[in-house]
Chain A
Amino acid sequence: MKTVMADRRWIGQHRDLGTEPVSTETCTSADFFELERERIFRRLWINMGREDQIPEPGDYVVKDFTMANASVLLVRGKDMKVRAFHNICVHRGNRLVGDEKGTCKNLFVCRFHSWAFSPEGDLKWVSDESNFYDLDKNQLGLRPIATSIWQGFIFINLSPNPAETLLQYLDGVTQQTAGYPFNELSVVFRYRVDERSNWKVVLDAQNEVYHLPFLHIAYPDFCPLNERGFSRIQDFRRFGRHTVYSVEANGTHQATKVEQVTARIVPYAEKPGTIAWFDFYTIFPNMCILFLGNTCMTYNIWPIEVDRSVWEVTIYQPKAATASERFVQEYWACRLRDLLQEDASNHEAIQASLKSGALTHFQLQDEEIQIRHFHKMIREQVAQIV
Protein backbone atom coordinates (compact mmCIF):
# COMPACT_ATOMS: atom_id res chain seq x y z
CA MET A 1 0.00 0.00 0.00
CA LYS A 2 1.45 3.34 -0.99
CA THR A 3 2.58 5.58 1.84
CA VAL A 4 0.65 8.79 2.27
CA MET A 5 3.30 11.46 2.85
CA ALA A 6 1.02 13.55 5.01
CA ASP A 7 0.85 10.67 7.49
CA ARG A 8 4.58 10.74 8.19
CA ARG A 9 6.20 13.07 10.67
CA TRP A 10 9.01 14.49 8.55
CA ILE A 11 8.22 13.86 4.91
CA GLY A 12 4.76 15.28 5.57
CA GLN A 13 6.47 18.62 6.21
CA HIS A 14 9.10 18.29 3.49
CA ARG A 15 7.38 16.66 0.56
CA ASP A 16 9.82 18.11 -1.93
CA LEU A 17 12.40 15.63 -0.67
CA GLY A 18 10.40 12.69 -2.01
CA THR A 19 10.30 9.14 -0.68
CA GLU A 20 12.15 7.19 -3.38
CA PRO A 21 15.23 5.13 -2.65
CA VAL A 22 18.43 7.14 -3.18
CA SER A 23 21.06 6.20 -5.75
CA THR A 24 24.34 4.75 -4.46
CA GLU A 25 26.18 5.60 -7.66
CA THR A 26 27.30 8.95 -6.27
CA CYS A 27 29.44 7.02 -3.78
CA THR A 28 31.23 4.82 -6.32
CA SER A 29 31.49 6.74 -9.58
CA ALA A 30 34.86 8.30 -10.33
CA ASP A 31 33.18 10.63 -12.84
CA PHE A 32 30.76 11.88 -10.21
CA PHE A 33 33.68 12.41 -7.81
CA GLU A 34 35.29 14.74 -10.36
CA LEU A 35 32.07 16.69 -10.67
CA GLU A 36 31.92 17.01 -6.88
CA ARG A 37 35.46 18.36 -7.01
CA GLU A 38 34.63 21.07 -9.52
CA ARG A 39 31.07 21.96 -8.64
CA ILE A 40 31.10 21.55 -4.87
CA PHE A 41 34.57 21.73 -3.35
CA ARG A 42 36.05 24.32 -5.68
CA ARG A 43 32.93 26.49 -5.58
CA LEU A 44 31.36 26.55 -2.13
CA TRP A 45 32.40 27.77 1.30
CA ILE A 46 34.47 25.08 3.02
CA ASN A 47 35.56 25.12 6.67
CA MET A 48 39.33 24.89 7.01
CA GLY A 49 39.92 25.46 10.71
CA ARG A 50 39.36 27.86 13.56
CA GLU A 51 40.82 31.26 14.29
CA ASP A 52 42.24 30.12 17.60
CA GLN A 53 44.66 27.86 15.71
CA ILE A 54 46.44 31.02 14.53
CA PRO A 55 46.03 33.48 17.40
CA GLU A 56 49.15 35.67 17.00
CA PRO A 57 50.47 37.81 14.12
CA GLY A 58 52.47 35.63 11.74
CA ASP A 59 50.84 32.37 12.92
CA TYR A 60 49.97 30.04 10.06
CA VAL A 61 48.68 26.60 9.26
CA VAL A 62 48.91 24.79 5.93
CA LYS A 63 45.93 22.67 4.96
CA ASP A 64 46.24 20.04 2.27
CA PHE A 65 42.92 20.47 0.44
CA THR A 66 43.34 17.43 -1.77
CA MET A 67 39.81 17.47 -3.13
CA ALA A 68 40.32 20.94 -4.54
CA ASN A 69 43.86 20.19 -5.73
CA ALA A 70 45.05 23.00 -3.48
CA SER A 71 47.50 23.55 -0.67
CA VAL A 72 46.02 26.33 1.44
CA LEU A 73 48.07 28.66 3.61
CA LEU A 74 45.97 30.22 6.39
CA VAL A 75 47.87 33.06 8.01
CA ARG A 76 47.20 35.86 10.47
CA GLY A 77 48.80 39.07 9.28
CA LYS A 78 50.55 41.69 11.33
CA ASP A 79 47.28 43.62 10.99
CA MET A 80 45.61 40.65 12.81
CA LYS A 81 43.53 39.86 9.72
CA VAL A 82 43.21 36.18 8.75
CA ARG A 83 43.89 35.49 5.09
CA ALA A 84 44.11 32.40 2.93
CA PHE A 85 46.44 31.99 -0.01
CA HIS A 86 47.45 29.30 -2.38
CA ASN A 87 50.67 27.95 -0.91
CA ILE A 88 52.58 28.67 -4.14
CA CYS A 89 55.59 30.80 -4.91
CA VAL A 90 54.59 32.95 -7.87
CA HIS A 91 58.04 32.70 -9.48
CA ARG A 92 57.89 29.14 -10.78
CA GLY A 93 55.34 27.40 -8.61
CA ASN A 94 57.33 25.82 -5.81
CA ARG A 95 55.44 25.01 -2.62
CA LEU A 96 56.14 28.06 -0.48
CA VAL A 97 55.61 26.74 3.06
CA GLY A 98 56.71 23.18 3.73
CA ASP A 99 55.59 22.61 7.29
CA GLU A 100 52.08 22.19 8.65
CA LYS A 101 52.06 25.08 11.08
CA GLY A 102 54.26 27.67 12.66
CA THR A 103 54.85 31.38 13.10
CA CYS A 104 56.30 33.57 10.39
CA LYS A 105 58.46 36.04 12.27
CA ASN A 106 59.22 38.21 9.26
CA LEU A 107 58.79 36.78 5.74
CA PHE A 108 57.94 33.48 4.08
CA VAL A 109 61.02 32.62 2.01
CA CYS A 110 60.89 30.17 -0.87
CA ARG A 111 63.81 27.78 -0.70
CA PHE A 112 64.08 27.56 -4.49
CA HIS A 113 65.29 31.13 -5.28
CA SER A 114 64.65 33.01 -2.02
CA TRP A 115 61.66 35.02 -3.19
CA ALA A 116 60.06 36.32 -0.01
CA PHE A 117 56.47 37.19 0.91
CA SER A 118 54.97 38.97 3.90
CA PRO A 119 52.28 37.34 6.05
CA GLU A 120 49.87 39.74 4.32
CA GLY A 121 50.77 38.08 1.01
CA ASP A 122 52.87 40.87 -0.55
CA LEU A 123 55.97 40.01 -2.57
CA LYS A 124 58.72 41.78 -0.66
CA TRP A 125 61.96 40.44 -2.08
CA VAL A 126 63.08 39.04 -5.41
CA SER A 127 66.67 37.90 -5.51
CA ASP A 128 68.51 39.25 -8.62
CA GLU A 129 65.46 41.41 -9.31
CA SER A 130 67.12 43.71 -11.82
CA ASN A 131 67.80 40.74 -14.08
CA PHE A 132 64.09 40.26 -14.72
CA TYR A 133 62.17 42.05 -17.46
CA ASP A 134 59.69 44.67 -16.20
CA LEU A 135 58.86 42.80 -13.04
CA ASP A 136 55.95 44.40 -11.13
CA LYS A 137 56.06 43.04 -7.61
CA ASN A 138 52.68 44.58 -6.84
CA GLN A 139 51.06 42.13 -9.27
CA LEU A 140 52.95 39.16 -7.90
CA GLY A 141 51.66 38.72 -4.38
CA LEU A 142 50.54 35.33 -3.11
CA ARG A 143 47.40 34.16 -4.90
CA PRO A 144 44.53 34.99 -2.54
CA ILE A 145 41.61 32.75 -1.68
CA ALA A 146 38.31 34.23 -0.48
CA THR A 147 38.21 33.87 3.28
CA SER A 148 35.51 34.54 5.83
CA ILE A 149 35.02 33.76 9.47
CA TRP A 150 31.85 32.76 11.30
CA GLN A 151 31.94 32.28 15.07
CA GLY A 152 35.68 31.65 14.89
CA PHE A 153 35.38 29.02 12.12
CA ILE A 154 37.53 29.95 9.11
CA PHE A 155 35.93 29.19 5.74
CA ILE A 156 37.45 29.54 2.30
CA ASN A 157 35.92 29.65 -1.16
CA LEU A 158 38.02 28.83 -4.21
CA SER A 159 35.68 30.61 -6.64
CA PRO A 160 37.30 33.75 -8.02
CA ASN A 161 34.02 35.54 -7.20
CA PRO A 162 31.95 33.60 -4.68
CA ALA A 163 28.26 33.72 -5.52
CA GLU A 164 27.31 34.35 -1.89
CA THR A 165 28.98 35.70 1.22
CA LEU A 166 29.65 33.15 3.93
CA LEU A 167 26.79 34.45 6.03
CA GLN A 168 24.41 34.22 3.09
CA TYR A 169 25.66 30.71 2.43
CA LEU A 170 25.13 29.60 6.04
CA ASP A 171 21.57 30.86 5.88
CA GLY A 172 19.51 30.36 9.06
CA VAL A 173 22.25 28.33 10.78
CA THR A 174 23.69 31.61 11.99
CA GLN A 175 20.50 32.72 13.75
CA GLN A 176 19.77 29.26 15.12
CA THR A 177 23.19 29.05 16.78
CA ALA A 178 23.57 32.72 17.68
CA GLY A 179 23.20 32.18 21.41
CA TYR A 180 25.84 29.45 21.72
CA PRO A 181 29.06 30.54 23.50
CA PHE A 182 31.43 29.65 20.68
CA ASN A 183 34.06 32.00 22.06
CA GLU A 184 34.40 29.73 25.11
CA LEU A 185 35.34 26.76 22.97
CA SER A 186 38.74 25.23 23.45
CA VAL A 187 39.99 22.22 21.52
CA VAL A 188 40.50 19.30 23.84
CA PHE A 189 40.99 16.44 21.37
CA ARG A 190 41.47 16.09 17.68
CA TYR A 191 41.54 12.77 15.84
CA ARG A 192 42.27 11.97 12.24
CA VAL A 193 40.71 8.80 10.84
CA ASP A 194 41.83 7.34 7.53
CA GLU A 195 38.78 5.88 5.88
CA ARG A 196 38.58 3.42 3.00
CA SER A 197 35.24 4.75 1.91
CA ASN A 198 33.61 7.56 0.01
CA TRP A 199 33.27 10.71 2.09
CA LYS A 200 29.48 10.57 1.87
CA VAL A 201 29.39 7.05 3.35
CA VAL A 202 31.22 8.42 6.39
CA LEU A 203 28.86 11.37 6.70
CA ASP A 204 25.68 9.33 6.10
CA ALA A 205 26.63 6.99 8.94
CA GLN A 206 26.45 9.89 11.38
CA ASN A 207 23.48 11.63 9.89
CA GLU A 208 20.72 9.77 11.76
CA VAL A 209 19.97 8.24 15.16
CA TYR A 210 18.04 5.22 13.83
CA HIS A 211 21.14 3.06 14.37
CA LEU A 212 21.80 4.11 17.97
CA PRO A 213 19.99 1.39 19.91
CA PHE A 214 21.40 -1.34 17.63
CA LEU A 215 25.03 -0.47 16.88
CA HIS A 216 26.23 1.31 19.99
CA ILE A 217 27.26 -0.77 22.98
CA ALA A 218 29.16 2.39 23.94
CA TYR A 219 25.92 4.31 24.45
CA PRO A 220 22.79 2.27 23.78
CA ASP A 221 20.41 4.60 25.60
CA PHE A 222 21.76 7.80 24.12
CA CYS A 223 18.41 9.05 22.95
CA PRO A 224 14.83 8.47 24.02
CA LEU A 225 13.20 5.47 22.41
CA ASN A 226 9.54 5.14 21.55
CA GLU A 227 7.32 2.43 22.99
CA ARG A 228 8.63 -0.01 20.38
CA GLY A 229 12.29 0.61 21.17
CA PHE A 230 13.07 2.80 18.15
CA SER A 231 14.74 6.20 18.26
CA ARG A 232 12.89 9.33 17.25
CA ILE A 233 14.41 12.72 16.61
CA GLN A 234 12.61 15.60 18.21
CA ASP A 235 13.15 18.07 15.42
CA PHE A 236 14.46 18.43 11.88
CA ARG A 237 15.04 21.86 10.35
CA ARG A 238 16.34 23.11 7.03
CA PHE A 239 18.46 26.19 6.39
CA GLY A 240 19.13 26.41 2.67
CA ARG A 241 21.64 23.67 1.91
CA HIS A 242 22.15 22.87 5.60
CA THR A 243 20.03 20.95 8.10
CA VAL A 244 19.89 19.96 11.74
CA TYR A 245 18.30 17.10 13.61
CA SER A 246 17.79 17.34 17.36
CA VAL A 247 17.32 14.83 20.14
CA GLU A 248 16.32 15.33 23.77
CA ALA A 249 18.35 13.82 26.59
CA ASN A 250 17.07 10.40 27.57
CA GLY A 251 15.54 10.77 31.01
CA THR A 252 15.90 7.03 31.64
CA HIS A 253 19.58 6.92 30.71
CA GLN A 254 21.49 4.58 33.02
CA ALA A 255 24.81 6.15 33.90
CA THR A 256 27.72 3.78 34.45
CA LYS A 257 29.65 4.04 37.73
CA VAL A 258 32.45 6.20 36.35
CA GLU A 259 29.93 8.28 34.44
CA GLN A 260 28.15 8.92 37.74
CA VAL A 261 31.43 10.28 39.12
CA THR A 262 31.63 12.71 36.20
CA ALA A 263 27.98 13.68 36.63
CA ARG A 264 28.73 14.84 40.18
CA ILE A 265 31.30 17.23 38.70
CA VAL A 266 29.47 18.27 35.53
CA PRO A 267 25.79 17.32 35.58
CA TYR A 268 24.73 15.10 32.70
CA ALA A 269 22.56 17.43 30.67
CA GLU A 270 23.84 20.73 31.95
CA LYS A 271 24.08 22.90 28.92
CA PRO A 272 21.46 22.85 26.24
CA GLY A 273 22.63 22.92 22.67
CA THR A 274 20.98 25.24 20.23
CA ILE A 275 17.63 23.44 20.05
CA ALA A 276 17.67 20.34 22.28
CA TRP A 277 20.27 18.31 24.23
CA PHE A 278 21.89 16.90 21.09
CA ASP A 279 21.86 18.92 17.88
CA PHE A 280 23.55 17.56 14.77
CA TYR A 281 24.05 20.08 12.00
CA THR A 282 25.18 19.10 8.56
CA ILE A 283 26.88 22.18 7.10
CA PHE A 284 26.99 21.41 3.41
CA PRO A 285 29.06 19.95 1.97
CA ASN A 286 31.42 18.19 4.37
CA MET A 287 31.19 19.63 7.86
CA CYS A 288 29.10 18.56 10.81
CA ILE A 289 28.71 20.53 14.02
CA LEU A 290 27.42 18.61 17.02
CA PHE A 291 26.21 20.12 20.24
CA LEU A 292 26.06 17.48 22.97
CA GLY A 293 25.64 18.50 26.57
CA ASN A 294 28.56 20.82 27.35
CA THR A 295 30.61 19.49 24.45
CA CYS A 296 30.80 20.77 20.90
CA MET A 297 32.26 18.56 18.20
CA THR A 298 33.04 19.17 14.58
CA TYR A 299 33.58 16.69 11.83
CA ASN A 300 35.34 17.69 8.64
CA ILE A 301 35.20 14.83 6.15
CA TRP A 302 37.79 15.24 3.44
CA PRO A 303 37.40 13.40 0.16
CA ILE A 304 40.70 12.02 -1.08
CA GLU A 305 39.59 9.57 -3.77
CA VAL A 306 36.18 8.15 -4.60
CA ASP A 307 36.76 5.39 -2.04
CA ARG A 308 39.18 7.12 0.35
CA SER A 309 38.59 9.94 2.77
CA VAL A 310 39.91 11.45 5.97
CA TRP A 311 37.56 12.07 8.86
CA GLU A 312 38.78 14.82 11.16
CA VAL A 313 37.05 14.77 14.54
CA THR A 314 37.50 17.72 16.89
CA ILE A 315 36.12 17.80 20.41
CA TYR A 316 35.71 21.19 22.07
CA GLN A 317 34.95 21.96 25.67
CA PRO A 318 35.64 24.85 27.98
CA LYS A 319 39.21 24.69 29.23
CA ALA A 320 39.54 22.53 32.32
CA ALA A 321 40.32 24.65 35.37
CA THR A 322 40.64 21.80 37.85
CA ALA A 323 41.71 18.16 37.96
CA SER A 324 38.05 17.14 38.31
CA GLU A 325 37.12 19.00 35.14
CA ARG A 326 40.10 17.48 33.35
CA PHE A 327 38.92 14.03 34.41
CA VAL A 328 35.44 14.70 33.01
CA GLN A 329 36.96 15.89 29.71
CA GLU A 330 39.03 12.75 29.36
CA TYR A 331 36.11 10.48 30.22
CA TRP A 332 33.84 11.94 27.55
CA ALA A 333 36.61 12.17 24.95
CA CYS A 334 37.35 8.46 25.42
CA ARG A 335 33.68 7.51 25.42
CA LEU A 336 32.93 9.51 22.27
CA ARG A 337 36.03 8.11 20.58
CA ASP A 338 34.90 4.53 21.36
CA LEU A 339 31.45 5.41 20.01
CA LEU A 340 32.95 6.69 16.78
CA GLN A 341 35.11 3.59 16.45
CA GLU A 342 31.89 1.60 16.54
CA ASP A 343 30.56 3.84 13.76
CA ALA A 344 33.72 3.54 11.69
CA SER A 345 33.54 -0.27 11.74
CA ASN A 346 30.85 -0.14 9.07
CA HIS A 347 32.30 2.30 6.62
CA GLU A 348 34.78 0.15 4.76
CA ALA A 349 32.32 -2.75 4.50
CA ILE A 350 29.64 -0.47 3.10
CA GLN A 351 32.01 0.90 0.47
CA ALA A 352 33.02 -2.61 -0.59
CA SER A 353 29.36 -3.55 -0.88
CA LEU A 354 28.58 -0.53 -3.03
CA LYS A 355 31.58 -1.24 -5.24
CA SER A 356 30.22 -4.69 -6.01
CA GLY A 357 27.42 -2.98 -7.91
CA ALA A 358 24.83 -5.18 -6.23
CA LEU A 359 23.13 -2.35 -4.38
CA THR A 360 21.97 0.44 -6.64
CA HIS A 361 19.89 2.31 -4.05
CA PHE A 362 19.75 3.11 -0.35
CA GLN A 363 16.38 2.62 1.33
CA LEU A 364 15.73 5.55 3.70
CA GLN A 365 13.02 5.81 6.35
CA ASP A 366 11.32 8.91 7.70
CA GLU A 367 13.87 9.34 10.53
CA GLU A 368 16.70 9.27 7.96
CA ILE A 369 15.42 12.45 6.38
CA GLN A 370 18.67 14.36 6.98
CA ILE A 371 20.50 11.82 4.80
CA ARG A 372 17.84 12.20 2.11
CA HIS A 373 18.20 16.00 2.14
CA PHE A 374 22.00 15.80 2.01
CA HIS A 375 21.97 13.58 -1.08
CA LYS A 376 19.49 15.89 -2.78
CA MET A 377 21.81 18.85 -2.16
CA ILE A 378 24.73 16.88 -3.61
CA ARG A 379 22.78 15.99 -6.77
CA GLU A 380 21.49 19.53 -7.20
CA GLN A 381 24.87 21.16 -6.72
CA VAL A 382 26.56 18.78 -9.17
CA ALA A 383 23.77 19.20 -11.73
CA GLN A 384 24.27 22.97 -11.95
CA ILE A 385 25.77 24.17 -15.18
CA VAL A 386 27.88 27.31 -14.98
Chain B
Amino acid sequence: MTALLPIEFADLEGFADWALPTTRQRNHKRLTSSMDQIQPFYDAMLTRIDAILAYLDGFNLQEMPADAQRLMWMALSLAEVSDAIELFHEPGVTGGCDPSRFVVIQEPNP
Protein backbone atom coordinates (compact mmCIF):
# COMPACT_ATOMS: atom_id res chain seq x y z
CA MET B 1 0.00 0.00 0.00
CA THR B 2 1.30 3.44 -0.87
CA ALA B 3 2.31 5.42 2.18
CA LEU B 4 0.11 8.45 2.83
CA LEU B 5 2.78 10.33 4.74
CA PRO B 6 6.49 11.03 4.19
CA ILE B 7 8.62 8.03 5.15
CA GLU B 8 10.15 9.92 8.10
CA PHE B 9 6.70 10.02 9.69
CA ALA B 10 5.57 6.48 8.91
CA ASP B 11 4.85 6.06 12.62
CA LEU B 12 1.89 8.42 12.20
CA GLU B 13 0.25 6.56 9.30
CA GLY B 14 -2.38 5.18 11.65
CA PHE B 15 -3.66 8.72 12.26
CA ALA B 16 -3.90 9.74 8.62
CA ASP B 17 -7.68 10.03 8.96
CA TRP B 18 -6.94 13.38 10.67
CA ALA B 19 -5.41 14.66 7.42
CA LEU B 20 -8.41 16.85 6.55
CA PRO B 21 -8.13 19.85 4.25
CA THR B 22 -10.51 22.37 5.84
CA THR B 23 -11.14 23.90 9.23
CA ARG B 24 -14.78 22.81 9.00
CA GLN B 25 -13.79 19.18 8.51
CA ARG B 26 -11.16 19.21 11.24
CA ASN B 27 -13.52 20.85 13.73
CA HIS B 28 -16.24 18.37 12.82
CA LYS B 29 -13.92 15.43 13.41
CA ARG B 30 -12.89 16.82 16.77
CA LEU B 31 -16.51 17.29 17.84
CA THR B 32 -17.63 13.84 16.67
CA SER B 33 -14.69 11.90 18.11
CA SER B 34 -14.39 10.53 21.61
CA MET B 35 -11.58 11.44 23.96
CA ASP B 36 -10.32 7.85 23.50
CA GLN B 37 -9.83 8.70 19.84
CA ILE B 38 -8.49 12.22 20.27
CA GLN B 39 -5.98 11.51 23.06
CA PRO B 40 -3.73 9.04 21.18
CA PHE B 41 -3.69 11.34 18.14
CA TYR B 42 -2.77 14.34 20.31
CA ASP B 43 -0.06 12.37 22.16
CA ALA B 44 1.54 11.04 18.98
CA MET B 45 1.48 14.39 17.20
CA LEU B 46 2.74 16.40 20.16
CA THR B 47 5.76 14.10 20.45
CA ARG B 48 6.70 14.74 16.82
CA ILE B 49 5.39 18.27 16.17
CA ASP B 50 8.76 20.04 16.20
CA ALA B 51 10.17 17.54 13.71
CA ILE B 52 6.98 17.75 11.62
CA LEU B 53 7.12 21.55 11.36
CA ALA B 54 10.87 21.55 10.67
CA TYR B 55 10.27 19.07 7.84
CA LEU B 56 7.32 20.98 6.37
CA ASP B 57 9.14 24.33 6.57
CA GLY B 58 11.34 23.00 3.77
CA PHE B 59 8.45 23.22 1.32
CA ASN B 60 6.64 26.08 -0.36
CA LEU B 61 3.30 26.29 1.47
CA GLN B 62 1.37 26.56 -1.79
CA GLU B 63 3.15 23.69 -3.55
CA MET B 64 3.54 20.79 -1.19
CA PRO B 65 3.69 17.23 -2.47
CA ALA B 66 0.64 15.21 -1.47
CA ASP B 67 2.28 13.30 1.38
CA ALA B 68 3.68 16.47 2.97
CA GLN B 69 0.31 18.20 2.48
CA ARG B 70 -1.42 15.44 4.44
CA LEU B 71 1.13 15.84 7.22
CA MET B 72 0.43 19.61 7.22
CA TRP B 73 -3.30 18.94 7.62
CA MET B 74 -2.57 16.57 10.50
CA ALA B 75 -0.54 19.33 12.19
CA LEU B 76 -3.54 21.66 11.75
CA SER B 77 -5.71 18.96 13.32
CA LEU B 78 -3.38 18.97 16.32
CA ALA B 79 -4.01 22.73 16.57
CA GLU B 80 -7.75 22.02 16.38
CA VAL B 81 -7.90 19.31 19.07
CA SER B 82 -5.48 20.88 21.52
CA ASP B 83 -8.18 22.80 23.41
CA ALA B 84 -10.20 19.60 23.84
CA ILE B 85 -7.28 17.83 25.52
CA GLU B 86 -5.57 20.72 27.29
CA LEU B 87 -8.44 22.92 28.45
CA PHE B 88 -11.90 21.41 28.21
CA HIS B 89 -11.09 17.71 28.79
CA GLU B 90 -13.92 16.87 26.43
CA PRO B 91 -14.28 17.15 22.66
CA GLY B 92 -16.46 20.25 22.62
CA VAL B 93 -16.37 23.67 24.24
CA THR B 94 -17.72 23.07 27.76
CA GLY B 95 -20.89 25.10 28.16
CA GLY B 96 -20.31 26.75 24.80
CA CYS B 97 -22.96 27.70 22.28
CA ASP B 98 -24.07 25.27 19.61
CA PRO B 99 -20.88 25.05 17.50
CA SER B 100 -22.86 24.91 14.27
CA ARG B 101 -23.69 28.57 14.92
CA PHE B 102 -20.10 29.48 14.02
CA VAL B 103 -20.15 29.19 10.25
CA VAL B 104 -16.72 29.41 8.62
CA ILE B 105 -17.04 31.73 5.66
CA GLN B 106 -13.34 32.16 5.00
CA GLU B 107 -10.24 30.23 5.96
CA PRO B 108 -6.65 30.14 4.71
CA ASN B 109 -6.01 28.23 1.54
CA PRO B 110 -4.31 25.83 1.91
Question: Are A323 and B72 closer than 8 Å at their CB atoms?
Answer: yes
A89 to chain B, nearest CB (A): 27
Q: Are B93 and A341 in contact, CB atoms less than 8 angstroms apart?
A: yes
User: What is the predominant secondary structure among interface residues of chain B facing chain A?
Assistant: helix
Give the chain A neighbours of B59 by CB distance below 8 A.
Answer: 323
Q: What residue of chain B has the Cβ atom nearest to residue A317's Cβ?
A: B108
In the complex, what residue of chain A is closest to B68 when comparing beta carbons?
A323
Find out whether the CB atom of B97 lies under 8 angstroms from the CB atom of A322. no
Give the Cβ gap from B54 to chain A, nearest Cβ, in Å: 8
B22 to chain A, nearest CB (A): 11
Q: How many A-B residue pairs have CB under 8 A?
A: 123
Find B96's partner among A259, A320, A341 (CB 8 Å cutoff). A341
Query: Would A193 and B102 count as touching, CB distance under 8 A?
Result: yes
Interface contact B86-A258, CB-CB below 8 Å = yes
Which residues of A sit under 8 angstroms from B2, Cβ to Cβ?
Answer: none
**Contact: A258 with B82, CB < 8 Å?**
yes
Chain B interface: which of A37-45, A268-276, A327-335? A327-335
Q: Which residues in B have their C-beta under 8 angstroms from that of A192?
A: 102-103, 105
- Residues facing A in B48-88 (CB within 8 A) are 49-50, 53, 56-57, 59, 61, 72, 75-76, 78-80, 82-83, 86-88
Tell me, in angstroms, the Cα distance from A314 to B108 when the chains sit together. 12
Enumerate chain B residues within 8 angstroms of A190, measured Cβ to Cβ. 104-107
In this assembly, does B95 line the interface, its C-beta being within 8 Å of a C-beta of chain A? Answer: yes
Q: When chains A and B are docked, how far (Å) is the Cα of A87 from the Cα of B76?
A: 40
Cα(A357)–Cα(B103), bound, Å: 32
Question: How large, as a class, is the contact surface on chain B?
Answer: 35 or more
Give min CB distance, A350 to chain B, whole Å: 12
How far, in angstroms, from A291 to B108 measured CA to CA in the complex?
20
Interface size class of A (residues with CB under 8 A): 35 or more
Question: Which residues 310-360 of A sit at the B interface, judged by CB distance below 8 A?
Answer: 314, 320-324, 326-327, 329-331, 333-335, 337-338, 340-342, 344-345, 347-348
Q: Residues of B contacting A329 with CB < 8 Å?
A: 108
19 contacting pairs across A/B (C-beta < 8 A): A188-B107, A188-B108, A189-B23, A189-B107, A190-B104, A217-B94, A218-B83, A257-B82, A258-B49, A258-B86, A323-B53, A324-B57, A330-B80, A331-B82, A334-B79, A334-B80, A338-B96, A344-B101, A345-B96
Give me 13 other A-B pairs in contact (C-beta within 8 A), A195-B101, A341-B102 excluded.
Answer: A187-B106, A190-B107, A191-B103, A192-B103, A193-B97, A217-B94, A218-B87, A258-B78, A258-B79, A259-B82, A335-B83, A338-B83, A344-B102
